[in-house]
């Protein structure tokens, strides 16, 4: 069997802890190349993971005979890296937040169509136990009409890569809403049947600029050669209120710093049932479905399987590459997620609701 040859752009935290280890577990794949502008990190990754070819110029890597590319570079480069990779004949798995604008997302998918390449958005919550259990129930109509969606991803003190690209407005594009809010947005919109945003109101805050604390991501051992300016140029909290095309309302919040309970959670309210999805890392607080049975209010505690979301994401991508089937994560869904984040920032900047 011919193995699928992978190249990775960006040799940082997520490549070292998720993509490379996942690929190493998969018989049908091999990583033959890795690109990063940081030579020290490249050499560390080459030695640690036994990767043959390293490139400080990602475009040179695209000239080699790899079949697929994982884009794990800073947010602002995702669209450029994905588009060039597909134009060079490679299938692409691209990290969240995929891009900073809905227009870039459309360009990416248009390139996939034009080049006949697979483009898969790396939104790992799709492979979570919650998504696996709840999506089929919702599709069977067990929740009725879903009309209210709430999600939050809150850190109390924890700015990723403080002073690196993560907190540079130019390189990251934004703070926690782009970084972690994106996961929760994708999860609840997917579960709710992918309604599109119609009106977006957002606000952002920068209250911890002078007392920002590095949150330990990327893991220290993955940061070889990284240089920090110490600057914090993006928000530390963002929230959004969104009216959706099916009449439903969505409320989303994300923080890297804030005086609040930390963790991630989401809820959906439907006319027949609702669900609360607390932090999956809290076993004492399970997923609960709130319904009614012959007039009796009834709680159901569904068994939620534990999944290795990055491994499953990679398996799905490889399956799509082999069979040429469309990935689970669709263009329309990615456009909606990115459009909401883009317009939360736009609304925060202008102080006005954005009507789409």
Binding site for ligand NAD (CB under 6 A): 9-15, 35-38, 41, 58, 72-75, 77, 95-96, 122, 124, 161, 164-165, 179, 218, 222
Q: Is 250 helix (H, G, I), strand (E, B) or coil?
A: strand
Output 71 or 138, the one with its CB closest to ligand NAD. Answer: 71
Closer CB to ligand NAD, 218 or 240, in the complex: 218
Q: How far apart are CA 356 and CA 354, in angstroms?
A: 6
CB nearer ligand NAD, residue 122 or residue 202? 122
The answer, yes or no, to whether the previous bond of 97 is cis (omega within 30 of 0) is yes
Q: Which residues pair with 95 in a beta bridge?
A: 122
Could you tell me the smallest distance in angstroms from the CB atom of residue 221 to ligand NAD? Answer: 11
Least distance from C-beta 78 to ligand NAD, angstroms? 6
Least separation in angstroms between residue 233's CB and ligand NAD is 16
Q: At what angle do helices 78-87 and 102-115 cross, to 10 degrees?
A: 10
Helices (H) and strands (E) in the chain, counts: 12, 15
Dihedral sign, Cα of residue 121, residue 172, residue 184, residue 161: positive
DSSP 309-337: HHHHHHHHHHHHHHH-PPPSS-HHHHHHH
64 and 32 in contact (C-beta within 8 Å)?
yes
Residue whose Cβ sits closest to ligand NAD: 12
Nearer to ligand NAD, 10 or 258 (CB): 10
Sign of CA dihedral 47, 48, 50, 55: negative
CB 300, min distance to ligand NAD, A:
29
Instruction: With beta carbons less than 8 A apart as the criterion, state whether 95 and 122 touch.
Output: yes
Closest to ligand NAD by CB, 165 vs 311, is 165
The tokens for 226 are: 């990284």
Please, what is the minimum distance in Å from the beta carbon of residue 93 to ligand NAD? 11
Task: State the minimum distance, in angstroms, from the CB of residue 8 to ligand NAD.
Answer: 9
User: Would you say 10 or 280 has its CB closer to ligand NAD?
Assistant: 10
In the complex, the smallest distance separating the C-beta of residue 284 from ligand NAD, rounded to whole angstroms, is 24
Among residues 7 and 12, whose Cβ is nearest to ligand NAD?
12
As a whole number of angstroms, the distance between CA 60 and CA 88 comes to: 11
């Amino acid at each position: 069997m011919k193995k699928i040859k992978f190249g990775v752009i960006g040799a940082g935290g997520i490549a070292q802890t998720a993509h490379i280890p996942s690929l190493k577990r998969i018989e049908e794949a091999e990583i033959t190349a890795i690109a990063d502008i940081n030579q020290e990190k490249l050499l560390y990754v080459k030695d640690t993971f036994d990767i043959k070819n390293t490139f400080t110029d990602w475009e040179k890597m695209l000239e080699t005979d790899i079949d697929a590319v994982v884009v794990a570079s800073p947010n602002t480069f995702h669209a450029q890296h994905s588009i060039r990779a597909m134009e060079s004949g490679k299938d692409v798995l691209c990290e969240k937040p995929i891009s900073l604008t809905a227009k870039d997302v459309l360009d990416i998918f248009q390139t996939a169509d034009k080049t006949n390449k697979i483009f898969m958005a790396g939104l790992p919550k799709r492979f979570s136990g919650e998504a696996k259990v709840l999506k089929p129930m919702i599709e069977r109509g067990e929740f009725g009409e879903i009309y209210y969606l709430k999600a939050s991803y809150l850190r109390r003190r924890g700015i990723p890569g403080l002073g690196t690209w993560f907190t540079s407005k130019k390189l990251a594009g934004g703070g926690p809403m782009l970084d972690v809010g994106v996961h929760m947005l994708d999860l609840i919109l997917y579960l709710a049947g992918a309604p599109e945003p119609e009106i977006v109101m957002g606000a952002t805050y920068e209250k911890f600029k002078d007392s920002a604390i590095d949150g330990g991501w990327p893991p220290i051992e993955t940061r070889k050669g990284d240089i920090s300016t110490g600057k914090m140029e993006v928000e530390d909290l963002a929230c959004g209120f969104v009216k959706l095309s099916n009449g439903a309302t969505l409320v989303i919040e994300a923080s890297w710093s804030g005086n609040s309970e930390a963790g991630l959670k989401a809820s959906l309210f439907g006319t027949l049932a609702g669900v609360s999805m607390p932090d999956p890392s809290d076993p004492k607080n399970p997923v609960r479905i709130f319904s009614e049975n012959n007039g009796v209010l009834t709680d159901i505690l569904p068994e939620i399987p534990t999944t290795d979301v990055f491994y499953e994401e990679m398996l799905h991508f490889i399956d799509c590459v082999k069979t040429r089937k469309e990935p689970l994560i669709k263009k329309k869904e990615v456009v909606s997620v990115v459009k909401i984040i883009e317009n939360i920032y736009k609304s925060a900047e202008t102080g006005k609701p954005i009507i789409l």
